[in-house]
């Protein structure tokens, strides 16, 4: 299958001694991505780390520097967020961007919750609902459901029953990330589906990453067709670490291969109590990568990708990788740059 939509995902790494420079570099990468014809760029969400903690603010800035490229989050963990306030922010940015925002979300307790709960939810940490009910509240806000008991004028101020501003169509660009159960839930609720470089072994006999990922995608589409027989099936995007080396220096290639090798051991067997299976990182020329991806059962089932940039590389490495993705890897996968 040829790639129809081509994008990449970045953590927005920055130096804690000079965070402004790192954020500016990320905005420059988004601008460059549009110039190179990418269809989308996606931001990760990191808290108490040296990566983007406020992807919505970054997308707001990027919306004023770009005109065409879609901008997504992969993903915002709702455990850190108030769903109503997040809906207000995302609707605002979506309107500023002309309808280019693709919010990707997930649920569950915040990472390292015991370390942050006294600051994040000092009075409610024991009763916060981190289930998919939090997603349902968020979806209701994006849809424009009535969430306030009052509508009318008080003095000179007007009040609405629904979140303002409302951005029509934003709910249709909502994505959910996760494993097999999440794929089913996303399909049942009409959300698009984000896959990543990790799956788990629940509900499968396989221990092969590509096979399991393909099963998750099949489950999503089969569930969607049963639940929404008269609607086009939602979008599915694949996110793997893919590093083309066409224009890389010998020193860069050596570092990239060492990076992939250092992470390979975890891909050889399921990890942890949940049986997490990690994908190997893909490093090579675009011709080599196209061949390997063409044999990948998960890749065979998608027509859009958001390949992840490694977390710890230098800015110059990211520029080389992005240029090679646009100029070599994308075309090798059947993609044509947008304008």
- pLDDT for res 117: 98
Domain 5-74+174-332 has CATH 3.20.20.30: yes
The model's confidence at residue 1, banded by pLDDT at 50, 70 and 90, is low
pLDDT in tens, 252-275: 999 999 999 999 999 999 999 999
Instruction: State the first-to-last Cα distance of the chain, in angstroms, to the nearest integer.
Output: 22
- b/e string for 11-20 if b means 16 or more Cβ within 10 A? bbbbeeeeee
Q: Where are the beta strands (DSSP E) in 122-266?
A: 152-154, 157-159, 175-177, 192-194, 198-200, 236-237, 242-244
List, for residues 229-257, the tens digit of each pLDDT value: 999 999 999 999 999 999 999 999 999 99
Q: Which residues pair with 154 in a beta bridge?
A: 157
- Tens of pLDDT, residues 2-43: 999 999 999 999 999 999 999 999 999 999 999 999 999 999
Model's pTM, two decimal places?
Answer: 0.97
What tokens does 290 get? 């196209």
Contacts of 232 (CB under 8 A, 6+ apart): none
Using the predicted structure, report yes or no on whether residue 338 has a pLDDT greater than 90.
Answer: no
pLDDT tens-digit map of 97-146: 999 999 999 999 999 999 999 999 999 999 999 999 999 999 999 999 99
The domain limits of the chain are 5-74+174-332
**C-alpha closest to that of 100 among 28, 53, 169, 37:** 169
> Which residues partner with 177 through β-bridges?
194
pLDDT tens column, 197-219? 999 999 999 999 999 999 999 99
Euclidean distance between CA atoms 101 and 220, whole angstroms: 22
């Amino acid at each position: 299958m040829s790639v129809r939509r081509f994008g990449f995902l970045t953590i927005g790494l920055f130096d804690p001694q000079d965070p402004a420079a790192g954020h500016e570099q990320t905005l420059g990468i988004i601008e460059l991505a549009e110039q190179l014809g990418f269809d989308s760029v996606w931001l990760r969400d990191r808290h108490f780390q040296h990566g983007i903690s406020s992807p919505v603010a970054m997308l707001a800035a990027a919306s004023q520097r770009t005109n065409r490229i879609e901008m997504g989050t992969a993903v915002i963990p709702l455990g850190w967020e108030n769903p109503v306030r997040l809906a207000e922010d995302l609707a605002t940015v979506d309107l500023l961007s002309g309808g280019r925002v693709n919010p990707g979300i997930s649920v569950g307790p915040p990472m390292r919750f015991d370390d942050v709960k006294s600051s994040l939810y000092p009075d409610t940490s024991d009763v916060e609902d981190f289930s998919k009910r939090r997603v349902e509240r968020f979806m209701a806000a994006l849809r424009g459901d009535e969430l306030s008991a009052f509508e009318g004028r008080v003095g000179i101020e007007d009040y609405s029953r629904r979140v303002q501003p409302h951005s029509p169509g934003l709910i249709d660009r909502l994505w959910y990330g996760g494993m097999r159960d999440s794929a089913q839930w996303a399909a049942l609720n009409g959300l698009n589906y984000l896959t990543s470089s990790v799956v788990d072994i629940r509900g499968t006999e396989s221990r092969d990453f590509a096979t399991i990922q393909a099963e998750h995608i099949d489950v999503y589409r089969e569930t969607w067709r049963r639940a929404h027989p008269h609607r086009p099936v939602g979008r599915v995007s694949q996110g793997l670490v893919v590093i083309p080396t066409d224009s890389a220096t010998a020193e860069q290639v050596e570092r990239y291969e060492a990076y992939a090798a250092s992470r390979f051991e975890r891909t050889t067997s399921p990890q942890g109590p949940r049986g997490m299976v990690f994908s190997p990182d893909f490093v090579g020329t675009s011709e080599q990568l196209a061949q390997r991806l063409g044999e990948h059962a998960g890749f065979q089932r998608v027509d859009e990708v958001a390949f992840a940039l490694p977390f710890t590389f230098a800015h110059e490495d990211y520029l080389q990788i992005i240029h090679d993705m646009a100029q070599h890897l994308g075309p090798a996968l059947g993609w044509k740059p947008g304008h």
